[in-house]
Structure 1
Protein backbone atom coordinates (compact mmCIF):
# COMPACT_ATOMS: atom_id res chain seq x y z
CA UNK A 1 0.00 0.00 0.00
CA UNK A 2 1.55 3.34 -0.98
CA UNK A 3 2.09 6.22 1.46
CA UNK A 4 -0.69 8.40 0.01
CA UNK A 5 -3.24 5.62 0.40
CA UNK A 6 -1.99 4.86 3.91
CA UNK A 7 -2.48 8.52 4.89
CA UNK A 8 -5.89 8.70 3.21
CA UNK A 9 -7.14 5.56 5.00
CA UNK A 10 -5.88 6.89 8.31
CA UNK A 11 -7.81 10.15 7.77
CA UNK A 12 -10.96 8.22 6.90
CA UNK A 13 -10.70 6.15 10.09
CA UNK A 14 -10.24 9.29 12.18
CA UNK A 15 -13.28 10.89 10.50
CA UNK A 16 -15.34 7.77 11.12
CA UNK A 17 -14.47 7.81 14.81
CA UNK A 18 -15.24 11.54 14.95
CA UNK A 19 -18.70 11.13 13.43
CA UNK A 20 -19.72 7.63 14.55
CA UNK A 21 -18.21 7.38 18.01
CA UNK A 22 -16.60 4.22 19.42
CA UNK A 23 -15.95 1.53 16.80
CA UNK A 24 -14.34 -1.89 16.85
CA UNK A 25 -11.80 -3.17 14.35
CA UNK A 26 -14.50 -5.37 12.85
CA UNK A 27 -16.88 -2.43 12.37
CA UNK A 28 -14.16 -0.26 10.78
CA UNK A 29 -13.13 -3.14 8.52
CA UNK A 30 -16.70 -3.68 7.36
CA UNK A 31 -17.35 0.01 6.65
CA UNK A 32 -14.09 0.54 4.78
CA UNK A 33 -14.08 -2.75 2.92
CA UNK A 34 -10.50 -3.58 3.93
CA UNK A 35 -9.10 -6.45 5.99
CA UNK A 36 -9.06 -6.41 9.75
CA UNK A 37 -5.28 -6.84 9.58
CA UNK A 38 -5.01 -3.60 7.59
CA UNK A 39 -7.25 -1.80 10.09
CA UNK A 40 -5.14 -3.05 13.01
CA UNK A 41 -2.00 -1.70 11.34
CA UNK A 42 -3.56 1.75 11.10
CA UNK A 43 -4.90 1.52 14.65
CA UNK A 44 -1.46 0.56 15.98
CA UNK A 45 0.14 3.52 14.16
CA UNK A 46 -2.41 5.99 15.53
CA UNK A 47 -2.09 4.60 19.06
CA UNK A 48 1.67 5.21 18.89
CA UNK A 49 0.89 8.83 17.93
CA UNK A 50 -1.48 9.15 20.94
CA UNK A 51 -4.47 9.77 18.66
CA UNK A 52 -6.68 6.92 19.90
CA UNK A 53 -8.02 5.58 23.16
CA UNK A 54 -9.25 2.03 23.63
CA UNK A 55 -11.84 0.47 25.92
CA UNK A 56 -12.79 -3.16 26.48
CA UNK A 57 -16.52 -3.68 25.99
CA UNK A 58 -18.37 -6.77 27.18
CA UNK A 59 -20.94 -8.22 24.82
CA UNK A 60 -24.11 -10.24 25.43
CA UNK A 61 -22.53 -13.17 23.58
CA UNK A 62 -18.94 -13.97 22.83
CA UNK A 63 -15.70 -12.52 24.09
CA UNK A 64 -15.25 -8.85 25.09
CA UNK A 65 -14.01 -6.65 22.28
CA UNK A 66 -11.92 -3.50 22.08
CA UNK A 67 -13.54 -0.33 20.75
CA UNK A 68 -11.64 2.80 19.76
CA UNK A 69 -12.36 6.47 20.26
CA UNK A 70 -10.42 9.65 19.50
CA UNK A 71 -7.94 10.84 22.12
CA UNK A 72 -7.87 14.57 22.97
CA UNK A 73 -4.77 15.05 20.82
CA UNK A 74 -6.70 13.94 17.71
CA UNK A 75 -9.07 16.88 18.04
CA UNK A 76 -6.23 19.14 16.87
CA UNK A 77 -6.37 17.45 13.43
CA UNK A 78 -9.86 18.72 12.64
CA UNK A 79 -10.62 22.19 11.24
CA UNK A 80 -10.98 25.01 13.75
CA UNK A 81 -12.14 28.61 13.38
CA UNK A 82 -10.59 29.94 16.57
CA UNK A 83 -8.59 32.64 14.81
CA UNK A 84 -11.61 33.95 12.90
CA UNK A 85 -13.60 33.98 16.14
CA UNK A 86 -10.79 35.96 17.80
CA UNK A 87 -10.75 38.49 14.98
CA UNK A 88 -14.53 38.85 15.04
CA UNK A 89 -14.52 39.44 18.81
CA UNK A 90 -11.71 42.00 18.56
CA UNK A 91 -13.56 43.81 15.78
CA UNK A 92 -16.70 43.93 17.93
CA UNK A 93 -14.71 45.23 20.88
CA UNK A 94 -13.04 47.89 18.73
CA UNK A 95 -16.36 49.06 17.32
CA UNK A 96 -18.05 49.07 20.71
CA UNK A 97 -15.32 50.46 22.99
CA UNK A 98 -12.59 51.91 20.75
CA UNK A 99 -8.83 51.65 20.39
CA UNK A 100 -8.03 52.29 24.06
CA UNK A 101 -9.84 49.11 25.11
CA UNK A 102 -7.90 47.10 22.51
CA UNK A 103 -4.66 48.61 23.81
CA UNK A 104 -5.52 47.61 27.38
CA UNK A 105 -6.49 44.12 26.26
CA UNK A 106 -3.12 43.47 24.60
CA UNK A 107 -1.24 45.10 27.48
CA UNK A 108 -3.07 42.80 29.88
CA UNK A 109 -1.99 39.79 27.82
CA UNK A 110 1.58 41.07 27.86
CA UNK A 111 1.51 41.41 31.66
CA UNK A 112 0.24 37.84 32.08
CA UNK A 113 2.92 36.43 29.76
CA UNK A 114 5.59 38.41 31.56
CA UNK A 115 4.45 37.09 34.95
CA UNK A 116 4.38 33.54 33.58
CA UNK A 117 7.86 33.59 32.04
CA UNK A 118 9.84 35.99 34.26
CA UNK A 119 10.77 33.24 36.75
CA UNK A 120 12.52 31.38 33.92
CA UNK A 121 14.86 34.35 33.44
CA UNK A 122 16.12 34.63 37.01
CA UNK A 123 19.85 34.34 37.68
CA UNK A 124 20.73 34.02 33.99
CA UNK A 125 23.20 35.90 31.82
CA UNK A 126 21.90 37.79 28.79
CA UNK A 127 22.90 34.95 26.47
CA UNK A 128 21.13 32.44 28.71
CA UNK A 129 18.03 34.66 28.76
CA UNK A 130 18.06 34.86 24.95
CA UNK A 131 18.33 31.05 24.78
CA UNK A 132 15.46 30.70 27.28
CA UNK A 133 13.29 33.14 25.31
CA UNK A 134 13.95 31.11 22.16
CA UNK A 135 12.81 27.98 24.02
CA UNK A 136 9.65 29.74 25.23
CA UNK A 137 8.78 30.98 21.74
CA UNK A 138 9.47 27.57 20.18
CA UNK A 139 7.13 26.00 22.73
CA UNK A 140 4.49 28.39 21.36
CA UNK A 141 5.14 27.60 17.69
CA UNK A 142 7.29 30.55 16.56
CA UNK A 143 10.12 28.47 14.99
CA UNK A 144 12.97 30.53 16.41
CA UNK A 145 16.66 30.52 15.69
CA UNK A 146 19.19 32.88 17.24
CA UNK A 147 22.90 33.53 17.17
CA UNK A 148 25.46 35.82 18.78
CA UNK A 149 26.97 38.44 16.52
CA UNK A 150 29.50 40.62 18.35
CA UNK A 151 29.96 42.63 21.54
CA UNK A 152 27.17 40.85 23.45
CA UNK A 153 24.71 41.37 20.59
CA UNK A 154 22.34 38.67 19.33
CA UNK A 155 20.14 38.14 16.29
CA UNK A 156 16.80 36.52 17.16
CA UNK A 157 14.57 35.34 14.27
CA UNK A 158 11.00 34.02 14.33
CA UNK A 159 10.12 32.15 11.13
CA UNK A 160 6.47 31.58 12.03
CA UNK A 161 3.80 33.66 13.75
CA UNK A 162 0.92 31.61 15.24
CA UNK A 163 -1.11 34.82 15.67
CA UNK A 164 -0.27 36.28 12.25
CA UNK A 165 -3.90 36.92 11.31
CA UNK A 166 -4.42 38.94 14.48
CA UNK A 167 -1.09 40.76 14.13
CA UNK A 168 -1.88 41.69 10.51
CA UNK A 169 -5.00 43.54 11.68
CA UNK A 170 -4.03 44.67 15.17
CA UNK A 171 -0.53 46.11 15.35
CA UNK A 172 -0.79 46.13 19.15
CA UNK A 173 0.12 42.42 19.08
CA UNK A 174 3.54 43.22 17.59
CA UNK A 175 4.09 46.19 19.90
CA UNK A 176 3.37 44.08 22.97
CA UNK A 177 5.68 41.31 21.81
CA UNK A 178 8.51 43.82 21.48
CA UNK A 179 7.81 45.20 24.96
CA UNK A 180 7.58 41.68 26.37
CA UNK A 181 10.99 40.77 24.93
CA UNK A 182 12.57 43.94 26.36
CA UNK A 183 11.18 43.27 29.83
CA UNK A 184 11.98 39.56 29.92
CA UNK A 185 15.50 40.04 28.61
CA UNK A 186 16.18 43.29 30.50
CA UNK A 187 17.98 44.37 27.35
CA UNK A 188 17.80 46.65 24.34
CA UNK A 189 15.65 44.98 21.67
CA UNK A 190 14.97 46.38 18.21
CA UNK A 191 12.83 44.78 15.51
CA UNK A 192 14.37 45.05 12.02
CA UNK A 193 11.94 42.86 10.06
CA UNK A 194 8.32 41.90 10.70
CA UNK A 195 6.09 39.19 9.20
CA UNK A 196 3.00 41.33 9.73
CA UNK A 197 4.57 44.09 7.62
CA UNK A 198 5.48 41.88 4.69
CA UNK A 199 8.81 40.49 5.94
CA UNK A 200 9.91 36.90 5.50
CA UNK A 201 10.34 36.57 9.26
CA UNK A 202 10.42 38.63 12.44
CA UNK A 203 13.99 39.65 13.25
CA UNK A 204 15.17 41.22 16.50
CA UNK A 205 18.57 42.64 17.40
CA UNK A 206 19.27 42.20 21.10
CA UNK A 207 22.04 43.91 23.04
CA UNK A 208 22.89 44.98 26.57
CA UNK A 209 21.28 48.19 27.74
Structure 2
Protein backbone atom coordinates (compact mmCIF):
# COMPACT_ATOMS: atom_id res chain seq x y z
CA UNK A 1 0.00 0.00 0.00
CA UNK A 2 1.38 3.41 -0.97
CA UNK A 3 2.21 5.71 1.89
CA UNK A 4 0.02 8.81 2.20
CA UNK A 5 1.65 12.22 1.79
CA UNK A 6 2.48 13.74 5.14
CA UNK A 7 0.06 16.17 6.71
CA UNK A 8 0.40 19.90 6.20
CA UNK A 9 3.05 19.57 3.49
CA UNK A 10 1.85 22.66 1.63
CA UNK A 11 1.98 24.74 4.79
CA UNK A 12 5.32 23.22 5.70
CA UNK A 13 6.97 24.06 2.39
CA UNK A 14 5.72 27.64 2.44
CA UNK A 15 6.46 28.28 6.09
CA UNK A 16 9.86 26.60 5.93
CA UNK A 17 11.08 29.14 3.42
CA UNK A 18 9.88 32.14 5.42
CA UNK A 19 12.66 34.36 6.71
CA UNK A 20 11.83 33.96 10.39
CA UNK A 21 12.52 30.23 10.24
CA UNK A 22 16.01 30.69 8.84
CA UNK A 23 17.94 30.65 12.08
CA UNK A 24 20.02 27.50 12.09
CA UNK A 25 17.96 25.92 9.35
CA UNK A 26 19.56 28.08 6.68
CA UNK A 27 22.82 26.18 7.17
CA UNK A 28 21.20 23.10 5.58
CA UNK A 29 20.17 22.39 2.00
CA UNK A 30 16.53 23.01 1.11
CA UNK A 31 15.73 19.30 0.94
CA UNK A 32 17.24 18.70 4.36
CA UNK A 33 15.28 21.65 5.70
CA UNK A 34 12.12 20.08 4.28
CA UNK A 35 12.92 16.77 5.96
CA UNK A 36 13.59 18.41 9.34
CA UNK A 37 10.40 20.48 9.12
CA UNK A 38 8.29 17.44 8.21
CA UNK A 39 9.72 15.54 11.16
CA UNK A 40 8.84 18.46 13.41
CA UNK A 41 5.24 18.31 12.16
CA UNK A 42 5.08 14.51 12.51
CA UNK A 43 6.49 13.71 15.92
CA UNK A 44 5.42 10.07 15.74
CA UNK A 45 8.12 9.57 13.09
CA UNK A 46 8.22 9.34 9.32
CA UNK A 47 9.31 6.63 6.88
CA UNK A 48 11.53 6.82 3.83
CA UNK A 49 8.49 6.21 1.58
CA UNK A 50 6.52 9.02 3.22
CA UNK A 51 9.39 11.44 2.79
CA UNK A 52 9.94 10.33 -0.79
CA UNK A 53 6.31 10.92 -1.77
CA UNK A 54 5.85 14.13 0.18
CA UNK A 55 9.01 15.71 -1.23
CA UNK A 56 8.70 14.13 -4.68
CA UNK A 57 12.23 12.75 -4.65
CA UNK A 58 13.56 9.22 -4.92
CA UNK A 59 13.88 6.89 -1.94
CA UNK A 60 17.64 6.74 -2.54
CA UNK A 61 17.85 10.53 -2.37
CA UNK A 62 15.92 10.48 0.91
CA UNK A 63 18.30 7.88 2.33
CA UNK A 64 21.30 9.98 1.36
CA UNK A 65 19.87 13.04 3.12
CA UNK A 66 18.96 10.96 6.19
CA UNK A 67 22.48 9.53 6.35
CA UNK A 68 23.94 13.05 6.51
CA UNK A 69 21.41 14.23 9.10
CA UNK A 70 21.99 11.13 11.22
CA UNK A 71 25.75 11.58 11.01
CA UNK A 72 25.38 15.16 12.26
CA UNK A 73 23.20 14.04 15.16
CA UNK A 74 20.08 15.85 13.95
CA UNK A 75 17.96 12.81 13.14
CA UNK A 76 17.62 9.38 14.69
CA UNK A 77 15.64 6.17 14.18
CA UNK A 78 12.52 5.97 16.33
CA UNK A 79 11.89 2.28 15.76
CA UNK A 80 9.73 0.58 13.17
CA UNK A 81 6.12 0.63 12.00
CA UNK A 82 4.49 -2.75 11.24
CA UNK A 83 3.51 -3.32 7.63
CA UNK A 84 2.44 -6.23 5.42
CA UNK A 85 6.03 -6.78 4.40
CA UNK A 86 9.14 -5.79 6.27
CA UNK A 87 8.65 -3.27 9.11
CA UNK A 88 9.22 0.32 7.98
CA UNK A 89 11.85 2.28 9.89
CA UNK A 90 10.64 5.49 11.50
CA UNK A 91 12.85 8.58 11.61
CA UNK A 92 12.44 11.66 13.78
CA UNK A 93 14.25 14.67 15.21
CA UNK A 94 16.99 14.21 17.78
CA UNK A 95 17.33 16.92 20.44
CA UNK A 96 19.99 18.62 18.35
CA UNK A 97 17.61 18.65 15.39
CA UNK A 98 14.90 20.32 17.47
CA UNK A 99 17.37 23.06 18.41
CA UNK A 100 17.78 23.90 14.71
CA UNK A 101 14.37 25.59 14.86
CA UNK A 102 13.68 29.08 16.18
CA UNK A 103 13.85 29.61 19.90
CA UNK A 104 12.92 32.71 21.86
CA UNK A 105 15.63 32.50 24.52
CA UNK A 106 16.60 36.15 24.09
CA UNK A 107 13.03 37.29 24.70
CA UNK A 108 12.77 35.21 27.86
CA UNK A 109 16.19 36.43 29.01
CA UNK A 110 15.02 40.02 28.56
CA UNK A 111 11.97 39.30 30.72
CA UNK A 112 14.23 37.90 33.43
CA UNK A 113 16.56 40.89 33.29
CA UNK A 114 13.65 43.31 33.57
CA UNK A 115 12.21 41.38 36.51
CA UNK A 116 15.57 41.44 38.29
CA UNK A 117 15.97 45.18 37.76
CA UNK A 118 12.53 45.73 39.25
CA UNK A 119 13.51 43.56 42.21
CA UNK A 120 17.10 44.60 43.00
CA UNK A 121 17.78 47.68 40.85
CA UNK A 122 20.57 48.26 38.34
CA UNK A 123 23.40 48.08 40.89
CA UNK A 124 21.98 44.87 42.32
CA UNK A 125 21.69 43.40 38.83
CA UNK A 126 25.32 44.32 38.10
CA UNK A 127 26.36 42.46 41.25
CA UNK A 128 24.29 39.38 40.44
CA UNK A 129 25.51 39.18 36.85
CA UNK A 130 29.14 39.59 37.97
CA UNK A 131 28.62 36.86 40.55
CA UNK A 132 27.37 34.56 37.79
CA UNK A 133 30.44 35.30 35.67
CA UNK A 134 32.79 34.63 38.58
CA UNK A 135 31.06 31.35 39.39
CA UNK A 136 31.14 30.11 35.79
CA UNK A 137 34.82 31.01 35.48
CA UNK A 138 35.65 29.21 38.73
CA UNK A 139 33.86 26.09 37.51
CA UNK A 140 35.73 26.23 34.21
CA UNK A 141 39.08 26.65 35.96
CA UNK A 142 38.34 23.75 38.31
CA UNK A 143 38.16 21.35 35.40
CA UNK A 144 41.46 22.40 33.84
CA UNK A 145 45.11 22.27 34.75
CA UNK A 146 46.57 25.51 36.11
CA UNK A 147 47.90 27.59 33.20
CA UNK A 148 51.63 28.25 33.20
CA UNK A 149 51.15 31.98 32.53
CA UNK A 150 48.61 34.73 32.08
CA UNK A 151 49.22 34.54 28.34
CA UNK A 152 48.24 30.88 28.32
CA UNK A 153 45.08 31.68 30.29
CA UNK A 154 44.12 34.35 27.78
CA UNK A 155 44.62 31.98 24.87
CA UNK A 156 42.51 29.32 26.59
CA UNK A 157 39.83 31.92 27.23
CA UNK A 158 39.81 32.81 23.55
CA UNK A 159 39.22 29.15 22.66
CA UNK A 160 36.25 29.07 25.05
CA UNK A 161 34.86 32.26 23.52
CA UNK A 162 35.08 30.80 20.03
CA UNK A 163 33.29 27.67 21.25
CA UNK A 164 30.52 29.93 22.56
CA UNK A 165 30.12 31.55 19.16
CA UNK A 166 32.41 34.55 19.33
CA UNK A 167 34.52 35.40 16.30
CA UNK A 168 37.52 36.34 18.41
CA UNK A 169 41.30 36.40 18.31
CA UNK A 170 44.25 37.18 20.58
CA UNK A 171 46.51 40.04 19.49
CA UNK A 172 49.20 42.26 21.00
CA UNK A 173 48.71 46.00 21.22
CA UNK A 174 51.46 48.58 20.65
CA UNK A 175 52.55 48.28 24.28
CA UNK A 176 52.92 44.51 24.03
CA UNK A 177 49.84 43.82 26.17
CA UNK A 178 47.63 40.90 25.17
CA UNK A 179 44.19 41.78 23.84
CA UNK A 180 41.18 39.72 22.78
CA UNK A 181 39.22 41.25 19.91
CA UNK A 182 35.75 39.94 19.05
CA UNK A 183 33.96 41.05 15.90
CA UNK A 184 30.60 39.89 17.26
CA UNK A 185 28.79 39.67 20.59
CA UNK A 186 26.67 36.61 21.34
CA UNK A 187 24.59 38.69 23.78
CA UNK A 188 24.36 41.80 21.59
CA UNK A 189 20.57 42.22 21.45
CA UNK A 190 20.21 41.64 25.19
CA UNK A 191 23.23 43.78 26.09
CA UNK A 192 21.98 46.66 23.95
CA UNK A 193 18.92 46.82 26.22
CA UNK A 194 20.63 45.82 29.45
CA UNK A 195 24.27 46.88 29.54
CA UNK A 196 24.65 44.99 32.82
CA UNK A 197 25.11 41.86 30.69
CA UNK A 198 28.64 43.03 29.89
CA UNK A 199 29.52 42.56 33.56
CA UNK A 200 29.10 38.82 33.08
CA UNK A 201 31.80 38.72 30.40
CA UNK A 202 34.14 40.98 32.37
CA UNK A 203 33.78 39.00 35.60
CA UNK A 204 34.24 35.69 33.79
CA UNK A 205 37.36 36.95 32.01
CA UNK A 206 38.84 38.42 35.16
CA UNK A 207 38.37 35.28 37.23
CA UNK A 208 39.33 32.86 34.47
CA UNK A 209 42.60 34.64 33.59
CA UNK A 210 43.34 36.03 37.07
CA UNK A 211 43.96 39.34 35.30
CA UNK A 212 42.74 42.89 35.32
CA UNK A 213 40.47 43.34 32.30
CA UNK A 214 39.87 46.64 30.57
CA UNK A 215 36.90 46.79 28.19
CA UNK A 216 38.53 49.17 25.74
CA UNK A 217 35.92 48.99 23.00
CA UNK A 218 32.33 47.75 23.01
CA UNK A 219 29.91 47.26 20.12
CA UNK A 220 26.95 48.06 22.37
CA UNK A 221 28.56 51.48 22.99
CA UNK A 222 29.06 52.05 19.26
CA UNK A 223 32.42 50.35 18.74
CA UNK A 224 33.29 48.28 15.68
CA UNK A 225 34.31 45.35 17.86
CA UNK A 226 34.56 44.28 21.48
CA UNK A 227 38.14 44.69 22.69
CA UNK A 228 39.40 43.36 26.02
CA UNK A 229 42.88 44.20 27.32
CA UNK A 230 44.50 41.99 29.94
CA UNK A 231 47.07 42.81 32.56
CA UNK A 232 48.24 40.30 35.13
CA UNK A 233 46.91 41.17 38.57
CA UNK A 234 50.22 39.91 39.96
CA UNK A 235 52.31 42.29 37.86
Q: Answer whether TM exceeds 0.5 for this pair.
A: yes
- Which residues of structure 2 form unaligned runs of 5+? 1-25
Tell me the residue number matched to 1:31. 54
Match of 2:80 in 1: 57
Matches of 2:225 and 2:201 in 1, distance apart?
14
Deviation at residue 146 of structure 1 after TM alignment = 0.4
What is aligned with 1:20? 42
| Runs of 5+ unmatched residues, structure 1 | none
Moved more, 75-84 or 110-119: 110-119
How has the CA–CA distance of structure 1 residues 127 and 97 changed in structure 2, closer, same or farther, with 3 Å as cutoff?
closer
Structure with higher helix content: 1
What is the CA-CA distance between 1:60 and the residue it aligns to?
4.7
In terms of mean alpha carbon deviation, does 44-53 or 147-156 score higher?
Answer: 147-156
- Cα distance in 1 between the residues matched to 2:164 and 2:89: 36
Q: Deviations over 1:105-131 (max 9, x none)?
A: 212312321221233362421111111
Moved more, 75-84 or 123-132: 123-132
What is the SS of the residue equivalent to 1:147?
strand
The 1:68/1:124 distance shift into structure 2, 3 A limit, reads same
Aligned pairs, how many? 205
Question: TM-score when scaled to structure 1?
Answer: 0.87
Query: Residues 111, 192 of structure 1: CA spacing in aligned structure 2 closer, same or farther, 3 A cutoff?
Result: closer
Q: Do the aligned partners of residues 192 and 99 (structure 1) sit closer, same or farther apart at CA in structure 2, a change above 3 Å counting?
A: closer
Q: Is residue 2:63 matched to residue 1:40?
A: yes
Q: Match for residue 5 of structure 2?
A: none
- CA RMSD of the aligned region, Å? 2.3
Partner of 1:87: 110
Moved over 3 A (4+): 148-152
